Structures are given as structure tokens and as C-alpha cells.
Amino acid sequence: MSLPEIIATFVDFRKEVIVRRTRFRLRKIREKAHLYIGMYIAVLNIDEVVSIIKSSKDGAEASAALRERRWSPSTDIKNMIELVSDSTGVVEGGMYQLTVPQVKAILEMRLQRLTGLEKDKLEAELESMVALITEYTKILSTDSLLMDVVKQGLLDAKAKLAKPRSTAIEQSVDEIDAESLIPREEMVVTVTMNGFVKRVKLSNYRAQKRGGKGRVAQGVKEEDVTTKLFVVDTHTSVLFFSNVGKVYKLKVYRLPLGEPSSRGRSLVNIFPLSDGETVTSVMPLPSCDDEVGIANLDVVFATASGNIRRNALSDFQYVPSSGKIAMVLTPGDQLISAHVCRHADHVLLSSRLGKSIRFAVSNVRQFRGRTSDGVRAIRLSTGDQVISMSVLHGIEASSELKESYLRIPVEARVAASQSGEVSGEVARMLEEQAIEREQFLEMARSEQFILTVTENGFGKRTSAYEYRITSRGGVGVVNILTTVRNGNVVASFPVSQTDQVMLITDKGKLIRIAVTDIRVVGRSTQGVTLFKTEKGERVVSVATVVDGSKEEDEERPAGDEEQ
């Protein structure tokens, strides 16, 4: 209901209340006036009334005699009867006959009321009753008077009840913040490829012994997988970047709470996303007491047209509930990715036609505002576009040292990074390549592998050391050969040895494979078969499965125990 409708309904209600109240009062005052008319007739004919009472044997006989007697009312009595609209006792010939209630009132009347003074009081009371009867009759018959009564009733209530506020609402230093009442708990936040998010208490994931079967980490559809998982507390802020350049911010405790097997809630139902707007990057903010600190961190943005921009992470400390513009995009462009980075990190951009460029974060100046589309990061050829951005470790090493390091077999490098030790055979290789042991172990621990997948289902892993560091704005180097066999690139991002990846085609088919099953080769190669696609079928999406340990635990042979 609108405000006028609410007021009209209330006024109608008050009218009904006043009408019913007035009718009740009119009935009561007329009943009282009826009794007073009888007593007034008795006072005017006091001698005859006393004579009838004295000659009667008892009260019943006196009552009957008084009722049978017909009285000739005076002019004053007739006027009173007309004013109070009381025709109960009027009989033919203008005579008046007392009723039972009137006779009862006369018999119960005290002697003092027979005096002249009491007669005047009866007349005055009858006149006041007549005035009330006239007033009530007018209220019931005149709508304007009825509204005046409604108004006066509200004014009386205001005069009686309205008073200055006894308490004051002030900004208090000791005001309790609602957020401070929420306990700090460790939460596992998961985001799926189809845009479902949830948080689960870390305590729900109990520790298990090695070789167990694991447990279901999230209840998702077969074609959906968990692509982002991080452990934070309930007061951590999370940034959600969309493809149209907007950013949304939400505290972890405001995310939907679920169980490990639940699916979560769609991001469309959490943020006011417009048509065609999708979340492309999810980024938990470090807490203020982190070792690095928000002040020393930046966030980099990459667009499909090959632009990049770097802002201080503190620029996104405040984000309204409706979101705000993180990066102004030119028409037809879209935000591909956003990542937190440090000043010493490197950025790797990969394009659809198989090009990549790596440069230092410091090569991109820090922007103060959010209204720019950034600076050129890679010079793209006609028909090409950026499909991914990765932030890599910025290890200091010369090109010659990297080339020497890459001559060591990848298996030996991975084993050294995991164990932190160098075997005799590897030590001999290091001596041949003139690489110091500590230097080799540091490079092995920092080594990252870039997984690149093409639309025809081919892919490979390549060491990040093979991507030489250049200045931004160049054409880049070959990331993978986009031959007729391979097709264009659909994804390129860093992976770890324990990851699994899922490939999905435009026909709805999917495959889930371990990263260790994908061969490590150089940049200028075609890669190996990851997914045997049919004619006309294309891989459209690739995602890292962060809960891949579930299947590995289940497929572990029963007799595979440590010897």
C-alpha cells in the first residue's frame, strides 16, 4: 500500500470507531434522559404522587398505580420529550404514561429531590442531556463534524503523549561494531569454474593419514570443478574482479556457509552482475598484520587487447556494495585477469596465437587512479588477443646460467626441489655446467612450469626459465606452435607437480588429467595430445583442479605401503 492509501485506511478506521462510540453514547444518554423525564413529571405532580404511594399497600401496588395514571404534561415537559426524542410514554391525546424504569426511579428517589432546588437541578441536567443528544445526532449526520472529531482526537493524543525524547542518540567512542562480534575462525573458501562460491569451516576437514581415500571436497556437477581454494579467517576481505573491469569486495563471513559436500551459491546471486558480466579473478586480501603488508603490495590488471596496469593494492581497501570500476576498458575490450604482485615479481602474458612476453613488474609504472586502461604490455598481431596473465617469481639469474640450468634433466630438477638434496650424478652435471650447488637448489625451488593448452586438445609444460625477460611492449616470443594440428591457444598458466587439470570442449565433453602426465618440453614445440577431440570439436576451457588429491588417494593400490 502507498502512503496515501495507508492514511485513508486509518482515517476510515477512526471514523468507524467514532461512529460506533457516538451511537453507544447517544443510546445511553437517551436512556438516562428517559428516567429524568419521569422524575421531572413526579416532581411537578408531587402531591398526587405522594398520595398514590401513601394509599398503596406495598411497592408493587404503588408501582402499578403510578403506571396506570395518565399525566397531562406541561409545555416544558413536552419540549423536553421532543428534544430527547423520547416518545416511549406518550399515549393518545397527548397524555403521558410512566414506564416501569421511570416508576422504579421515582420510588427510589430520595425526599430531598422533592425540593425546589432539586427541581432546578433536574431541569439543568435534562438541558445538558439535550445538548449532548443534539451534538451526537449532528456528528452522526454530518461528515465534516465527524472528521473534526477524528482530528481533535489525534490532537488530544499528541498533546497528551508528545514529549521530548528522554534519551539521546550520539556517536560513542565505545560503540560496538557488529563485525567485532563475529569470532575469527579459519575458513576454506572455494570457487568453481561455473561461478559457485562457499566457505567451510577448516575444522570440518580432519587430518588423515597418508594413503587414505580422502573425502569429497565439494558437491559439484560433473562439468564443474573447483578452480580456486584458499584458507583465510572470517574477517579477511576478498576481491572479485569481473570481465567488464569492475571489482566487488566481500568479507569472508558474508560468503555463504556450507558443508564440504554442498555446492555453494552462484556469484550472480551475491553481486549485482550485469548481463554478460562474469567474475574472472578472485583475490583474497592480506590482513593488515601480514609480514609483507598491504602497503607493499600491488595489483596488476591485463586486458584482452594487450594492455596492463599496476595499482597499489591499498586503492581497493574501500569498495561499495554495488562494486566500483577497477579499470576503464575501451569498447570491445575486457579484463582478462588480476593478480596481487610484489615489486620483484615478473608478469607473463600469453596470447591466443601462441605468443608470450615476460617482463618485470617494476617495468610497469604504478598508476594513481582507476580511470586509465593502462599501458601496452604486448604488441599483438591482427586477430590476436591476450588469453591469460601469470605472476612469476622474479629470481635473479643471467641468461647463460638459465641455459646451463635447463641442460639438467627435468626429473633431477624436480627431485632436487622436493628433497632439497643433490645426488652424485646431478653433482657431476652441475660441475660440468659450472653451477654451484646452492645456486642450483635455489633455482630448483623457484622453478615454475607453464602449462599451455590449444583448442585442438594438445598441450605441454615448459619451464618458466625458458621465457626470457624483456621490456614490455614487445611482440614476445613463441609460447607454442599454433599449427593446423594444434589450433589456437585457449589457456596458459603455471602449474605445480601435484595439480590436476580439467579440459572441457564445446560439445560438453571433459577430461581430467594429472599435470605429471604432461611432458615438459621447450617453447617452440607443438606439445603432446591431452584430449582427442572429434572433427569440429574444440577445447574451450581449462582449469586447475585444486582438490585433485581425492582421486589420487582412491586409486592408490591397497598394497602400496612404505617398505
Q: What is the pLDDT of residue 558?
A: 39
**Which CATH number does the domain housing residue 33 bear?**
1.10.268.10
Cα distances from 423 to residues 402, 406, 410, 426, 562, in angstroms, run: 20, 17, 14, 5, 22
Identify the H or E element spanning 299: strand 298-303
Residue 230 lies in a domain: no
Q: Are strands 246-251 and 346-351 parallel, antiparallel or unpaired?
A: unpaired
d(CA 398, CA 434): 13
Count of C-beta atoms within a 10 Å radius of residue 148: 12
Cβ pair 70, 3 in contact under 8 A: no
Owning domain of residue 26: 3-153
Cell numbers placing 251? 568479507
Cell 402499578, residue? Answer: 64
Whether residue 414 lies inside any domain: the answer is: no
- In DSSP terms, 215 is beta-bridged to none
In a domain, 401, yes or no: no
Q: Does 400 map to a domain?
A: no
Say how far apart CA 356 and CA 540 lie, in whole Å.
19
**C-alpha closest to that of 408 among 429, 391, 428, 390:** 429
Contact 211, 259 (CB under 8 A): no
Could you tell me how far CA 189 lies from the centroid of its own chain?
17
Q: What is the DSSP string of 157-205?
A: HHHHH----SS-----TTPPPGGGGSPP-EEEEEEETTSEEEEEEGGGS
Is residue 392 classed as helix, strand or coil in its secondary structure?
A: strand
Of 352, 257, 345, residue with least CA distance to 300: 345
Would strands 307-312 and 366-367 be described as parallel, antiparallel, or unpaired? parallel
Q: Is 445 helix (H, G, I), strand (E, B) or coil?
A: helix
Alpha-carbon distance of 20 to 26, in angstroms, equals 10
| Number of continuous H segments (helices) and E segments (strands) in the chain | 12, 26
pLDDT value at position 83? 65
CB-CB contact of 499 with 545 (8 Å): yes
Q: Find out whether 174 and 185 touch, Cβ atoms under 8 Å.
A: no
**Residue 375, pLDDT score:** 92
DSSP 45: T
CA angle 168, 174, 177 (to 5 degrees): 100
pTM: 0.60
Q: How far apart are CA 391 and CA 281, in angstroms?
A: 13
Q: Is residue 363 part of a domain?
A: no
Cα separation, 153 vs 410, whole angstroms: 92
Residue 16 has what pLDDT? 93
What is the C-alpha to C-alpha distance for residues 347 and 376, in angstroms, rounded to an integer? 13
Helix axes 116-141, 75-83, angle to 10 degrees: 30
Number of other CB atoms surrounding residue 92 within 10 Å: 6
In this prediction, residue 308 carries a pLDDT of 93
pLDDT in tens, the chain (563 residues): 889 999 999 999 999 999 999 999 998 998 888 888 888 888 888 888 888 888 888 888 888 888 888 877 777 677 677 766 666 666 556 677 788 888 888 888 776 666 655 777 888 888 888 889 889 989 999 999 999 999 998 898 888 888 887 887 776 666 666 777 888 888 888 888 788 899 888 777 654 444 444 455 455 555 566 777 777 888 888 999 898 889 999 999 999 998 877 888 999 999 998 888 888 888 888 765 554 567 788 899 999 999 999 988 888 888 888 888 888 888 888 888 888 888 889 999 999 999 999 999 999 998 887 778 889 999 999 999 999 999 998 788 888 888 888 888 889 888 888 888 888 888 888 888 888 888 889 898 999 999 999 999 999 999 999 999 999 999 999 999 999 999 999 999 999 988 888 888 888 787 888 899 999 999 899 899 998 888 888 888 888 876 544 433 434 433 344 33
Q: How many domains does the chain have?
A: 1
**Contact partners, residue 113, CB within 8 Å, separation at least 6:** 39, 43, 122
285 belongs to a structural domain: no
In a domain, 21, yes or no: yes
Q: Is residue 557 part of a domain?
A: no
Task: From residue 51, give the alpha-carbon distance in Å to each of 37, 47, 62, 183, 551.
Answer: 20, 6, 10, 95, 118
CB 136 within 8 A of CB 146: no
